[in-house]
Structure formats: C-alpha cells, structure tokens
Chain A
C-alpha cells in the first residue's frame, strides 16, 4: 500500500466508516393528532374551572409546526398568532414561556434571544 493510500484509509476509518457503519433511519417521537385534540379539550375544560370560557389554543409539534389552532368565539385579532408564538417559544427553548421570559429579561446575557423571529 502506498503512503498516500495508507493515509486515505486511515482518514476514512477515523472520519467516515465508524459513524457510517451505525447509520440508520432517525426515529423521533412526535405529537399525534389525537393527542393534540385531547390536549386542546383538556385545556378548554381546565380553563372553564377558573372562569375562562373562551380561550384560544395553539399546539405545535416537535418541529414547531402547527398541529392544532383553535380561535375562541370572542377572540381579538391578535390572539391566535400570540398563542402560536407562545407555543413556538416553549417548544424551541424547551421551557415554559414564563420561565423563558424571566431568563431573557432586558439586561441579561440571554436578552438577545428575544430578537428571534
């Protein structure tokens, strides 16, 4: 084996073949439609207990894409987009929006995260 071929074979072993040997289809868990419907109805029921009879709900999946949107009967024009953005924020930062809000307060190191679309 020539010198160059040896180097190439070594490089292939280090960078390529190892991971490639274990390659397989990615399996990801995601929210199903049935789960989305159940979660939506659960939220509606829970909020009725505290006197909120008319809530707008957004459910996004693991990619942050809409799985379900429900606009309340008396919703204001902004409610649906706000619900969706709250869900997106919670999904992408893997925390409640309340916690994320505190973590990204003005003046903190994480404040620029708020500039994300």
Chain B
C-alpha cells in the first residue's frame, strides 16, 4: 500500500474511534427540574413573606426549559405584571443569574448589550434562578413592587425549598 493511502487509513481509524467513544457510553439524559409541588411552596412562601411590604405581587415559576410551571396573578394586578414576572424569571433562568445582575452586565455600551435583544428577556430586577450547583433547574420572577422588593420576594420563595436543592 502506498504510504499516502496508509496514512489516510490511519487517519480514518483515529477519527472513527474518536467519534465512537462517546456513543459507547450513551444513556438517557437525567435532568433535575422544578416540580409543581415545589412551585406551589415557592409561591406561597413569597406571598407570605411579602404580604406586608408587597401585597400586590404577581409570580412566575419557570422550569429548566424556561417554560411555565406556575403563574399566579395578584388581585388587582396591572395588565403587564404577569408577563413581566415571567420574563424576569426567563432571564434569570437562561443566564443563570439574577435578572438584576444581568441588567448590570448588559448595560448600554457594554459588550453584552446585544443580549437584551433576545426575545423574552427583560432588563429589570426581580428574577432569581433556582440553582443546584451550577445547574439552573428553574427560576422565579416577581412583579408588582420595586425591583429590589420583587427580588427579595423571589428569594424568600426559593429559600422555602432551599434544603431540597441538591
């Protein structure tokens, strides 16, 4: 066999092995996610914690895919509140950080400003991710009061299930 073809064959074998290796160990993906029971606990805790400071909050709990697990619109909510809560949560979920931190990171003029053009994100505080280690299994978004007040309510909700986040 001419050396050119031998080299070609060798390269082919290496490439084949490299591709095959990961698939030998293939298995079903197991991912942690926020359950509805947890979402109910989060919402109840957030409402309870903020009933004095922020009795008019709308709350969104999203799952690891950014989909709605639980939406609760407060009595007397403004038309925008529920969607704002959902978008704050979506922002926190997809960037794995509070929406307030993301807002700072994507400030106008910064390198990441263009992230604000992504659909469903919103540059407002009040969204907090639900983390297990480095994995965002969901997020909570609150709308109805100040941005810091909203974030406090969201964190109080997550704190209720903190011992389950492992």
Contacts and interface: CB of A to CB of B under 8 A. Distances in A.
Interface of A: 30, 32-34, 36-37, 41, 54, 61, 65-73, 80
Contacts of B69: 70-71
A38 B71 CA distance: 14
B36 A71 contact: yes
Nearest to B86: A69
Interface string B43-72: 110010000000000000001000111111
Contacts of A80: 67-68
B75 A33 contact: yes
A36 B36 CA distance: 16
Interface of B: 33, 35-36, 39-40, 43-44, 47, 63, 67-75, 79, 82
11 contacts: A33-B73, A37-B43, A66-B71, A67-B73, A70-B36, A70-B69, A71-B69, A73-B33, A73-B35, A80-B67, A80-B68
A66 B36 contact: no
A71 B72 contact: no
B interface majority secondary structure: mixed
B72 A36 contact: yes
A interface majority secondary structure: mixed
Given A30-B75, A65-B79, A68-B71, 12 more contacts: A33-B73, A34-B75, A54-B36, A66-B71, A66-B73, A68-B70, A69-B71, A70-B70, A71-B63, A71-B67, A71-B70, A73-B36
A80 B36 CA distance: 13
A32 B55 CA distance: 13
Contact of B73 (A68, A70, A71, A73): A68
A71 B37 CA distance: 11
Contacts of B39: 70
Contacts of A54: 36
B67 A33 contact: no
Contact of A69 (B33, B63, B68): B68
